[in-house]
Amino acid sequence: MTDTDVTQESIDKLSRAYADLREQMSQVIVGQGDVIDQLLIALFSRGHCMLEGVPGLAKTLMISTLSRCLSMTFSRIQFTPDLMPADITGTDVLQQDQETGERAFHFLHGPLFHNVVLADEINRTPPKTQAALLEAMQERQVTVGQNRHTLPDPFFVLATQNPIEQ
């Protein structure tokens, strides 16, 4: 048997996990069954999801509920016209050691370093910031300066877009 062989037992496990998770989410999110299904398909296939809709459709509640049901960390990033790549990826900061007085750069993690990330209204932000998000989604890492930083596993992004602002 190889790593890619799928057993009936693993299919049954996934099916039960899917049904349990869908049931838990349906207790909080009402009337959005199709959206929940698509969200879970993206999550279980290690993909990401794009949701287009006007404000007030419980997108934040839906994705935060998903992260709580799975006991995963969650962050929400509000994309704005002045948002810079370092605002989402993190940055190197110069810190001085209190005992030795020696200075060194230390990486300060940005909001992408969570298991579940809500990227809200991505169409409002500059292309460079969108590119930083796309690198995180595709490669599951971010590049800051000359260093690459691996994102947590699992890593899932739900991006939203407001059709009114296009």
Q: Which two tokens stand for residue 146?
A: 């000359």
Q: Which two tokens stand for residue 59?
A: 């997108």
What's the pLDDT tens digit per position in 113-122? 999 999 999 9
Q: What pLDDT is stored for residue 1 in this prediction?
A: 52
Whether residue 163 is predicted with pLDDT greater than 70 in this model: the reply is: yes
Go through the domains of the chain in sequence order and give each one's CATH number. Answer: 48-165 (3.40.50.300)
Whether residue 129 is predicted with pLDDT greater than 60 in this model: the reply is: yes
